[in-house]
Amino acid sequence: MAQLSVRSSRRCRRARPERHLRSGVPARRQLGRAVSPRGQPADARRLDHPLRHGSGGAKARPGGGEREGRGPRAARALERDRTRALRPLPRVRRVAALSPELAQPRGRFRTVAREKLADAHVEGAIDVATERLSAARTRAWDELPDIEALREQARDIRMRTIQDLDHHLADFTRAVEDLGGHVHFCRTADDARARAVEICRSVDAKLVAKSKSMASEEIGLNEALAEAGVEAVETDLGEYILQLAGEHPVHIVAPAIEKTGTDVARIFSQAQGREIPAELTALTQAAREQLREVFLRADVGVTGVNFGVARTGSICICTNEGNGRLVSALPRVHIAIMGMERVVPTLAELAVLLQLLGRSGTGQKLTAYTTLLTGPRRDGERDGPEDLHVIVLDNGRSNLLGTRYEEMLSCIRCGACLNVCPVFRKTGGAAYGPVYSGPMGAVLAPLLVGIENAPTLPHASSLCGACTAACPVKIPLHEYLLDLRRDLVSEGVAPLRERLAFTLWSWAWSRPWGYRLSTAIGRLGAPVGGLVGPGRAWAAGRTLPPLAGRRYRDRA
């Protein structure tokens, strides 16, 4: 089989993870590139972090004592670390949008959200599905003897990995290549798309079978393959439904969560030119008839990667339909697209994260088809790809290392935060954009493409904190959303009128006379405040209660 040449100046490189960074700067320094608050260079890998190997954190006592990362002492250290993480750290470097798929024009969220709020059908479907998933998570968590200890352990694993990400990526690369696979490090979505298309062209691929992959959505792979004359077919049932409908996923775990059985029957009937009843058996049979042929004929299989194991070079794929196994085993070539932060050190740490992934996402003890793939097909084996290519995607992720948002890289993509978010449950996922939705999307998308390219997403939250409480690795999502709102103002992204208004309000309300004056004016203007000026838009979606006859402060 033809081997893909990598002797080019392309920024998508094979073999060495540090080579996709700037030349002349140590990879360890550059992966955590940062600037201290005083403007002096700061090695983010040297931050005083108790989870960092070799840091000044508490060490395990020889011959006994608490194991590193466990027990009350470790829990207190983790809490101190969280407090430290909220202090001012180097900002995320402002960059042009690395992936247009993640960009969110100003005002788009409000426009799409209004459309979805007016559709009772969509709201009802989302509410039923998210309530079921959230209740299943609660039951699954309650079955564990100490869920909080497991969450702390999982957070510990993820943060330790992020702290030494360059080392783990290097180990993963060596292990994959020792097994006969190929690893390509791609800085941008453009680089990743180009590399995937190049691999397909090198084997003269005409048909690509895809398993569910949010990373492929992030880089816009389907569109790139179509432009190259390669047909890509989604084999995850939810993704397949949306592909036929010409829509994007609205939930990272249940992509077609807004669709009812009637909706799916209509989509399948239009696609196949025959009437298909809205019955579960008939719908799955109709999908199976179409997809089985795709599995058998595909030249290339494309999957995501839930986790990559650094020590063994294994990639872990979790699905509930088994399509991930067929996509990775039947085609001659397997392309696995992995976000650079998805690596874990060993199988033991993977086992901890898998306990939480299924429970938090769907309420399962373990995702139905949890597959570990270790290298391409070996001599004597009857299935598996002849060639394995792992595309490791940066696309803005390395900009988060060493910043106060670094912990966002520990997300395991379970979808629990979406299922409990009151904003998502009312508006659905389409308002957030075509890739990541809910609280994790409202944080991640602005960080990856630059907050100026997704300025409305940090406001897509009530700041109730339900997302943080549901996160299995305890990412402070609602605090990050508040931090991003501050960044909008401090970096001059928020409209000037808004910044001036809040500056004036802060100045007035920090003075007793200013507070008294503003409340008096507010009472006089309340009857018309919701009809004209800025108050008109605010009151359009709210029912304003009548004012009390006397102010509370006047009752003393």
Residue 549 pLDDT: 72
d(CA 244, CA 266): 11
Q: CA dihedral defined by 266, 267, 272, 276, rounded to 10 degrees?
A: -30
CA geometry: angle 26, 31, 37, nearest 5 deg: 100
SS (H, E, C) 198-267: HHHHHCCCCEEEECCCHHHHHHCHHHHHHHCCCEEEECCHHHHHHHHHCCCCCCCCCCCCCCCHHHHHHH
CATH number, domain 154-400? 3.40.50.10420
For each of the chain's 556 residues, which pLDDT tens digit applies? 333 333 333 456 555 555 444 434 344 434 433 333 323 333 333 333 323 333 333 333 333 333 334 455 455 445 545 444 444 444 544 444 455 667 777 778 888 888 888 888 888 889 999 999 999 999 999 999 999 999 999 999 999 999 999 999 999 999 999 999 999 999 999 999 999 999 999 999 999 999 999 999 999 999 999 999 999 999 999 999 999 999 999 999 999 999 989 999 999 999 999 999 999 999 999 999 999 999 999 999 999 999 999 999 999 999 999 999 999 999 999 999 999 999 999 999 999 999 999 999 999 999 999 999 999 999 988 889 999 999 999 999 999 999 999 999 999 999 999 999 999 999 888 899 889 999 999 999 999 998 888 899 999 999 999 999 999 999 999 999 999 999 998 888 877 877 788 888 888 889 988 888 877 777 766 555 555 556 666 666 667 677 777 777 777 6
**Residue 349 vs residues 114, 431, 554: alpha-carbon distances, Å:** 43, 35, 60
CB atoms within 10 A of CB 545: 6
Burial class (CB in 10 A: 0-12, 13-18, 19+), 524: exposed
Residues ≥6 apart with Cβ < 8 Å to 440: 252, 408, 411, 413, 417, 418, 467, 475, 477
CA geometry: angle 78, 460, 223, nearest 5 deg: 100
Residue 483 pLDDT: 96
Nearest CA among 76, 79, 73 for reference residue 60: 73
Residue pair 415/81 in contact by the 8 Å Cβ criterion: no
Segment 108-121, tens digit of pLDDT: 888 888 888 888 88
Residue 11 pLDDT: 54
Residue 530 pLDDT: 56
Say which amino acid occupies 450: G
Nearest CA among 6, 44, 49 for reference residue 25: 44
Residue 494 pLDDT: 77
**Residue 157 exposure: Cα atoms within 13 Å on the Cβ side:** 26
Enumerate the domain spans of the chain. Answer: 154-400, 496-540
